[in-house]
């Protein structure tokens, strides 16, 4: 049996469990997930703004009717 010397242990490519194409694919999937989350947050913010505008319009209409 041979012991692990510093040169062999420093070789990160030999210790790589995930292949490079897999790492690229994981990065692409993570970026897509982040983009989807950002889009969902933007949509939620837009919906909240629309609800606030509707509430303000209703309040203005109620004030005008009185």
What does the domain layout of the chain look like in residue ranges? 35-66
Ranges of the chain whose pLDDT falls below 70: 1-18
* Rounded-to-integer distance, Cα 18 and Cα 32, Å: 20
pLDDT the model gives residue 21: 80
pLDDT the model gives residue 20: 76
pLDDT the model gives residue 62: 95
* Rounded-to-integer distance, Cα 66 and Cα 45, Å: 32
CA 13 to chain centre: 29
């Amino acid at each position: 049996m041979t012991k692990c010397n510093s040169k062999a242990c420093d070789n990160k490519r030999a210790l790589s469990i995930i292949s490079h194409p897999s790492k690229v694919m994981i990065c692409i999937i993570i970026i897509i997930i982040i983009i989807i989350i950002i889009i969902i947050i933007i949509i939620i913010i837009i919906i909240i703004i629309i609800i606030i505008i509707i509430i303000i319009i209703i309040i203005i209409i109620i004030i005008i009717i009185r």
